[in-house]
Chain A
Amino acid sequence: MKVQWAVWLCFVFSVTASAETFFVKPTSGLFAEISVESTDSDIHSIKVRVRSEINATGSYSLVVIQESNASSETLFSWQGLVTPEWSVLFSDDRFLSNDSTIKATLSVNQEGNTFSRTVTWQPQVSITPKSLMTSQPRAGEHVIRLELP
């Protein structure tokens, strides 16, 4: 018999959406695209891109932070020149807490004028606690009880 076990951990949750994307658009012609793909129960592959639809010139800055009740963490912070092509800034795995909020602020400076916009986004996760089996506390042991899925 091949048994695949699921672990009981108090913060286990599952992600219902496999991939999501949200945009920040401070002014016409410039976008930041942040796509989030779940690769694990709470590991998300995050890809950040910036794109100018028109041949605008100027500079931009992009800050993406993760906020939760406990903390605020800057996930990315970038500055660069506006280009007409998609520019992939970042692609990496991050752990997103189920109670976190993602805030992305894209600012663009064009001919001395600054446009800035912040977009708030929450990971589309649903918390599905596993049916818990109470572990017997034992002196000197850290017991993790597994269960059938």
Chain B
Amino acid sequence: MKVAQRGFYLFLMSVLLSACFPVSEKNTDDDTTQQKPAAQQVDISGVIQYQDRLYNQLGFINNNAVYKTLRNVSIALAQTDGEEIEQSLTNAVGAFSFSDVPVGDYLLRIKAQSTVTNGTQIQVFDTSSDLYVIEVPLTISEEQVDFEIDLTAQQRVGGIFNMLDVFYSAIKFVDDVSSGTVSVDDLAVFWQWGDSNGSYTCRADNISCQQGIYVLSDPYFSGDTDEYDDDVLLHEFAHHMESSLFLFDSPGGAHTLHSTALDLRLSWSEGMASAFGASVKHWLRQNDPGRLSIPNYVGLDLADYYIDTRGSSVNVAIDLQSASASTYHYSTNEVAVASSMLSLQSLTDIPTLWRSYWSALTVNSTADTLESFWDGFVGLNAPAPSDLSDWQSTLASRDILYQLDSLETNQSIASARTIDDTIHSLYRNHYTTDVDWHKVDVTSGITYQFETHTLRNGADTMLELYRADETLLASNDDAFDCELEPSGCSPLHDGANFSSLIEYTAGATETLYLKVQTVSAVYDDPTSYGYIGRYGTYQIQVMELP
């Protein structure tokens, strides 16, 4: 090695070594002190809050300036050029402090990033995945050391921190109700003023978007923005929770509140998500009512509502628990699912409902639907017969029959019942499907049509015709294969799809027997056939053909 090179490396090593040890700041200060007086140092403190918007079933309630503190939000004190001097967090009530700050001009950098007490992090990004940072100039002097900073709705930054706050409450809810046993993934939120792509949750396996929650902001065309729609935010958070916990079987796709023919996995996911929002609001009312954005009216519990505002009115305002049972019924309707869950919550309590959710669906071997939730809910809580009856009745009020039908027991030829217009349930007990036997007297030479119809709650029947000696005469799964129809199986569970039909010319005058059960495909492949209900309902009829 040449001498010059060696000298260079010795110099480089000395530089690197000097970087490993703290440089005496005192010397530097002393040097500065000799040139000019030291800047006065003060301790500063303050509180940061954002402006929330209250709403009710008619939309936003104007002229109500409600401020809420920023909980555990990342902040930094920075030079006026943006260089950060010290980083910190607001505390649980939005307060912050910095010590020994030389008087002068600074920027307080407020980052749209919050760390919940259980360690889960929430961040709000723009659609370019840049984290929102609000910079507020502070002039710190001996007289001015205490600051109250309001982030307003009109500034279009209040909404960023409302999203942060709502998701913070949701994570606290999960942590508190599960006693710390359940936690969701860190959450990325994407929102940008004027980004009109809608509110939705993007799963990790979707390559067209980044994992997280996208929040609608469409002020210029539809007038619909969601950054202050707590119910929409909580609904999407529930989808994030499903994804985090691998409890997400929904195929997604279009859905409306009125549809009673949805894929069971879709109606479950959407209904559960809406019920989750209502549960969080009930929990907040009990534990932290100041975080709610709904008033507490006498005789009208807005915690049960799902409200999606648009401009000065609403897109949707529906009382999930009390919505019309004649419109919102069957387990294939998302409102009926939400209503059923909230009714079960009313009959038990919030922990009973959600601990069942977190526990039951992780061990089931079928698709995640209201049925699998019910199996776990009953199995885990082992209700007394009277409680079970109450639970079943509240579901039956929405035509979800997780109970024996009125003609049970008819599980064998010996106990077969005469065909009538009874609505039959294929539910035996939780975890177990039912088999129904029906009987009919036939006359030799006459052709009969035996048919299941009005299939609801995701039913897919298999119909078999037997003689009294259990000789199989005919069988049919589907009267027609809807996948071959021009419109496909859409609407999926419209009552006609998956029905069964047998035509049979009687060779003798005798009593024949019809066996009805759920097709076995659902057990063979719950992922592909998860839309088929195990506990569906049907009716059966017989006609003489000319």
Q: Which residues of A contact B (CB under 8 A)?
A: 1-7, 9, 39-41, 43, 45, 73, 91-95, 97, 133, 135-136, 138, 140-148
A145 contacts across to B, CB distance below 8 A? 107, 134-137
User: Which chain A residue shows the least CB distance to B60?
Assistant: A93
A95 contacts across to B, CB distance below 8 A? 219-220, 223
Contact A5 to B136, CB < 8 A, known contacts A136-B82, A142-B125: yes
- Residue of A9, A40, A140, A144 near B135 (CB, 8 A) is A144
- Residue B115 interfacial (CB < 8 Å): no
- Residue B157 interfacial (CB < 8 Å): yes
Judge whether A94 and B223 touch: CB under 8 Å. Answer: yes
Judge whether B137 and A147 touch: CB under 8 Å. Answer: yes
B131 contacts across to A, CB distance below 8 A? 140-142
Chain A, interface SS category: strand
- Residue B154 interfacial (CB < 8 Å): yes
Judge whether B132 and A142 touch: CB under 8 Å. Answer: yes
20 other contacts beyond A3-B149, A5-B151, with CB at 8 A cut-off? A2-B150, A3-B136, A4-B150, A5-B136, A7-B155, A7-B157, A41-B154, A73-B221, A95-B223, A135-B135, A136-B81, A140-B129, A140-B130, A142-B132, A143-B135, A144-B134, A145-B136, A146-B151, A147-B137, A148-B137
- Residue of B82, B130, B147, B311 near A92 (CB, 8 A) is B311
A135 contacts across to B, CB distance below 8 A? 135
Identify which of residues 138-184 in chain B touch chain A, using a CB-to-CB cut-off of 8 Å: 144, 146-152, 154-157
In the assembled complex, the Cα of A135 lies from the Cα of B136 at a distance in Å of 11
Q: In angstroms, how far is the closest chain B Cβ from the Cβ of A90?
A: 11
Q: Can you list 11 A-B contacts with CB-CB less than 8 angstroms, sorted by A residue number?
A: A3-B147, A3-B148, A45-B312, A91-B312, A141-B130, A144-B132, A144-B134, A145-B134, A145-B135, A146-B136, A147-B137
Contact A6 to B147, CB < 8 A, known contacts A94-B311, A142-B130, A142-B132: no
User: Which chain B residue shows the least CB distance to A2?
Assistant: B148
In the assembled complex, the Cα of A104 lies from the Cα of B346 at a distance in Å of 52
In the assembled complex, the Cα of A32 lies from the Cα of B481 at a distance in Å of 55
In the assembled complex, the Cα of A141 lies from the Cα of B109 at a distance in Å of 11
Judge whether A146 and B311 touch: CB under 8 Å. Answer: no
- Residue B433 interfacial (CB < 8 Å): no
Judge whether A97 and B220 touch: CB under 8 Å. Answer: yes
User: Which chain A residue shows the least CB distance to B132?
Assistant: A142
- Residue B392 interfacial (CB < 8 Å): no
B386 contacts across to A, CB distance below 8 A? none
Q: What 0/1 readout, one digit per residue, does chain B (312-327) give for beta carbons within 8 Å of chain A?
A: 1100000000000000
A148 contacts across to B, CB distance below 8 A? 137
- Residue of B129, B130, B132, B155 near A146 (CB, 8 A) is B155
- Residue B408 interfacial (CB < 8 Å): no
- Residue B128 interfacial (CB < 8 Å): yes
Judge whether A142 and B126 touch: CB under 8 Å. Answer: yes
B193 contacts across to A, CB distance below 8 A? 9
